[in-house]
Chain A
């Protein structure tokens, strides 16, 4: 995941790499996602996640477009 200071720089990067734009989130949105995703990463009880658990995290972070679906 790549850090940018503006939408314009994202367009420059996509054009230079001949790639379609993916999804762009504000750092505040990613902060909220991170809290759901990483809060228990050091725990012995963390054994990874199922696709359904990942989908629930994305839903809680209001990430509901097809981009965030578990299957292509």
Chain B
């Protein structure tokens, strides 16, 4: 049904748009970029969602997650390359500088205590190495409910 070459080009476009702008492209922007109609771009977005390449808000064509990037504001703010990104979770806040191959300053909020913390990724090293990350669900269940995961 879908052209896989174009499918993966769209995936890469979405990710690089996130990296360049800190937010995901709309389906209209993607259609325009590839000079395809909105119906085709919509079908490609749905297929990439089905393949877990990124995740749409339910019943919409708006990208909520392209891990490690978040399409909405969260408690995990990542400053890198002169831009401010939002990560989906504590793992993804570290994943953003890895994906960007950059240093970063991260502002995060602890679960339960709601205290704030700042950490830094610099020259491949991470500060605050005593912090803990809790994975509530085993890997086999990560995709059951991504927002909870």
Contacts and interface: CB of A to CB of B under 8 A. Distances in A.
Partners in one complex: yes
A10 B111 CA distance: 8
A9 B129 contact: no
Q: In the complex, which of the residues B53, B94, B129 has the most CB atoms of chain A within 10 Å of its own CB atom?
A: B94
13 contacts: A1-B91, A1-B92, A3-B90, A4-B132, A25-B132, A25-B135, A26-B132, A31-B121, A39-B98, A41-B67, A42-B100, A44-B8, A66-B138
Secondary structure class of chain B's binding surface, majority of residues:
mixed
A71 interface: yes
Contact of B99 (A9, A22, A42, A67): A42
Secondary structure class of chain A's binding surface, majority of residues:
mixed
B135 A38 contact: no
Given A4-B133, A44-B12, A67-B139, 17 more contacts: A2-B134, A2-B136, A3-B109, A5-B131, A5-B132, A9-B113, A10-B132, A13-B111, A13-B134, A16-B112, A27-B94, A28-B129, A37-B98, A41-B98, A46-B11, A48-B52, A69-B140
Contacts of A4: 110-112, 131-134
Nearest to B113: A9
B62 to A, nearest CB: 20
Interface of B: 8-9, 11-12, 15-16, 19, 51-53, 67-68, 76, 89-96, 98-101, 108-113, 115, 117, 119, 121, 126, 128-141, 149
A7 interface: yes
